[in-house]
Amino acid sequence: MADADDVRRLALALPQVVEIDSEGFDFRVADKGFVWSYPERRPGAKPVIRTDIAVLYVGDEAEKQALLLGEPDVFFTTPAYDGLPLVMLRLAQVDVERLTELVTDAWRMRAPTG
């Protein structure tokens, strides 16, 4: 079972990563977000920052749909993320090895090449 501390440790171990000051966690490379805490929105209320859920950059809609359909207990989305290459990850549903793969892949897609 992974948690926010694992996300922080893994993200900060990658080259050129910057942590943005936030209520949860928010990591960027080359000014592009690749993993951050899920800001759960409820009607008429301020968003609640969920550090038990990570928003991950996945690159494209095909990858997003593959994750959502293949592992619905692990990944989900909301209408606010329709059309965006982002999924939400329930951290308690993955181990650190899988989290390492997911965070590294998200970073790799956002990091500058060359």
pTM metric for this prediction: 0.94
- 39-65 confidence digits (pLDDT tens): 998 889 999 999 999 999 999 999 999
pLDDT reported for residue 114: 63
DSSP class per residue in 72-95: TTTEE--GGGTTSSEEEEEGGGS-
Number of neighbours of residue 35 by Cβ within 10 angstroms? 27
Pick the closest to residue 74 from 51, 93, 55 (CA basis): 93
Judge whether 111 and 30 are in contact, CB under 8 Å: yes
Task: Give the pLDDT of residue 55.
Answer: 98
Non-local (6+) Cβ contacts of 67 within 8 A are 58, 74, 75, 87
User: Per the structure block, which two tokens stand in for 46?
Assistant: 């301020």
For residue 100, the one-letter residue type is T
For 49-72, give the DSSP string: EEEEEEEEE-SSHHHHHHHHHH-T
pLDDT of 81-113, one tens digit each? 999 999 999 999 999 999 999 999 999 999 998
